Amino acid sequence: MTIGFIGDIVGKPGRDIIAKYLPNLKSEFNIDFVIANYENASHGFGLSVKNADELFTCGIDMMTGGNHSFDKKEVISLFDTHSIIRPLNYPQAMPGSGILRTAILDREVAVINLMGHYAMPMVDNPFTVITETIQQLLLEGIKHIIIDMHAEATSEKQVLLHLLKDKVSAILGTHTHIGTDDLSIVDGCCYVTDVGLSGCRDGVIGMDSKAPIKRFLTGIGEYFDVPKHCKSILQLIVFTLDDKGRCIEAKKIKLYDTDERIITQAFMENDI
């Protein structure tokens, strides 16, 4: 099976470039299932019902969240009506689920959303929570396991790789909005520290640069705003899993609003 993964969708520019290019990308690269991170999809903060419907219409099959999952309270209703999850290690009393089980090409697949600790809201220990969850999934015979690790610290994402590389199919980092160049297949696990945003590429993490510039010059914070007009980018990881849930091929596609594209193949790393 071939999976597509889109990192943080930031506002209307992110939704627009996905609507423009994703349907053709799914066909061109024979993608069976697309996962995307929704937490910044509605003007940079959270997800509205309207924008959720818009994104699913574009060819996204399910969505993961993060620290902005609950910025728009209407997302709570979406957990019951759409294939949307939030971080697994939020307190159990929080609405929604941190895991989605689905069938792709007659194989049972588990998609998990996990959130790190550093500079993030208070959540349960991601490493102990995920270890218990993976053990249970493996006991149930589920071999195709994909994790969106939503974290600020690169070290947390790399620790997760070393902890689970022989047990899960893919670990895909989100949250920082800045794509990293370390896409690799490590002992059969697809890994990248951060996929990078889909949205404005000419501001600061997808936002207009005025507010962050003022903040760093004066220490005075202002509301971060997604520009109405900008240069945009779509960043997509495409990876293929075999029948045992091991990654055998992966690539990153960076597609610009100018129709230019850069495709980078994953580095195959064994026995690190």
Strands 267-269 and 199-200: unpaired
* Cα distance from N-terminal residue to C-terminal residue, the chain: 26
Q: What is the number of domains present in the chain?
A: 1
Q: Which residues contact 154 (CB under 8 A, 6 or more apart)?
A: 173, 180, 193, 194
**Is 68 annotated as catalytic?**
yes
Domain that holds residue 258: 2-269
Per-residue pLDDT tens for 4-21? 999 999 999 999 999 999
Q: What is the CATH number of the domain that holds 110?
A: 3.60.21.10
Neighbours of 209 (CB within 10 A): 14
With contact defined as beta carbons under 8 Å apart, do 60 and 53 qualify? Answer: no
pLDDT higher than 70, residue 271: no
pLDDT higher than 60, residue 55: yes
Per-residue pLDDT tens for 192-244? 999 999 999 999 999 999 999 999 999 998 889 999 899 999 999 999 999 99
Which of these is catalytic: 43, 68, 117, 175? 68
Strands 62-64 and 33-37: parallel
DSSP H or E stretch at residue 216: helix 210-218
Whole-number percent of the chain with pLDDT over 90: 96
pTM score of the predicted model: 0.96
Q: Which residues contact 180 (CB under 8 A, 6 or more apart)?
A: 154, 173, 192, 193, 194, 196
